[in-house]
Amino acid sequence: MSRIAYVNGRYLPHRHASVHVEDRGYQFADGVYEVCEVLGGRLVDERRHLERLDRSLRELAIPTPMTHAALSAVLHEVVRRNSVTDGMVYLQVTRGVARRDHPFPPPGTAPSVVVTARRTDRAAQDATAAKGVAVITVPENRWPRVDIKSTSLLPNVLAKQQAKEAGAREAWFVAPDGTVTEGASTNAWIVTPDRRILTRPAEGGILRGITRTVVLEVAKALGYQLEERAFTVAEAHAASEAFITAATTVVMPVVRLDGVLVGQGVPGPIATTLRLKFHDFSEVS
C-alpha cells in the first residue's frame, strides 16, 4: 500500500508528495514541526502538541495555517488513510514559498503544511525498553532558542549520527558548565541513588517536551520525589537510573552512558513504572 501524505490541501501518494524548490522550509529550514504518538489509531496528547505548535509559530512569526479543528481533521485523516494503528504522525509548517531572500516573504504568503504518518513496531519498541539503550554525550552546540520546535536540526542530526556510529540510541548535549541539557530528540532524566527524579527545567535550554510534561504528572501522582534542576554528567554517572522521553519513545530506560553502565546496567524500576503508567495519564483523541 502506498503511503499517503497531506501537502497543502491535497492527500497524495508519497511519490507525488512534494513541495516547491523555493519553499522556505527547504531553503532555510524556516519552519516548525510536531510529532504525535499514534496509539490504537488515536492521537496521544494532540491538544498539547497543537498548543506547542502555536507557540513555535508565534515565536517565529509564521502565520497560523489553519484552525486546530482543521489541523486535527487532517492529522486524523492522514493516520486513517495510512491505516496507522500504532505509530506516529508528523506535522510540518513552513513560512511558505517565495523567491529566495532571507527576510520574511511578502505578507499574505501562505504557510506550507505537510503531514505524514507511519507505523512503528510496538513489540520491538517494548523489547528495546526491556533491555534499555545506550547514550553518548556531545558538547552543546545548538542555538539558544531550542525551546522552539524548529525544523532546523543540523546539530541534532550530527549528534544522532555520532551516537549511531558509537552503537548508541541517543546523544545528550552537555553545556559548558558540565550539565546535560537534553537529547538530540528526547528530554533527559536521571534518578539519584536516594530515589529523586531529576530533569532540567524547561526554561533552561531545552524543548519543553510534551512527554516530559506528562511524565512529571505521572511521577507526582505516583508520589515520587521530583526535582526540576540541571544535573551534571558526573551526577548521571553516579545515578541509579537514567531515561529519555519523547512522543515516539515514551519513556526509554538508559543503561549505558559513554560506555559506562548506569546503575546496575539494566532498566530501573522507576523508569519502567513511568513507562508502564504513561498512557494512563496522557490524553487520546
Cell of residue 209, nine digits: 517536551
212 backbone dihedrals φ, ψ, rounded to 5°: -55, -45
Q: Is 220 a catalytic residue?
A: no
Query: How far is Cα 195 from Cα 107, in angstroms, rounded to an integer?
Result: 53
* CA 225 vs CA 149, 182, 192, 198, 208: distances in Å: 29, 20, 10, 9, 20
Query: How far is Cα 77 from Cα 41, in angstroms, rounded to an integer?
Result: 11
**Binding-site ranges for ligand PLP (CB under 6 A):** 35, 182, 185-187, 207, 209-212, 245-247
Residue 187 CB, shortest distance to ligand PLP, in Å, is 5
164 backbone dihedrals φ, ψ, rounded to 5°: -60, -45
Residue 182 CB, shortest distance to ligand PLP, in Å, is 5
* CB closer to ligand PLP, 109 vs 125: 125
Catalytic residue among 149, 160, 220, 277: 149
Specify which residues 90 forms β-bridges with: 35, 116
Query: How far is Cα 42 from Cα 68, in angstroms, rounded to an integer?
Result: 16
* CB closer to ligand PLP, 163 vs 246: 246
Residue 106 CB, shortest distance to ligand PLP, in Å, is 31
Query: How far is Cα 75 from Cα 36, in angstroms, rounded to an integer?
Result: 9
* CB closer to ligand PLP, 202 vs 233: 202
Residue 203 CB, shortest distance to ligand PLP, in Å, is 14
**2 residue type, one letter:** S
Closest C-alpha to 100, from 153, 27, 159: 27
* CB closer to ligand PLP, 16 vs 58: 58
C-beta of residue 31 within 8 angstroms of C-beta of residue 94: yes
* CB closer to ligand PLP, 35 vs 266: 35
Residue 202 CB, shortest distance to ligand PLP, in Å, is 10
**Which residue numbers are catalytic?**
149
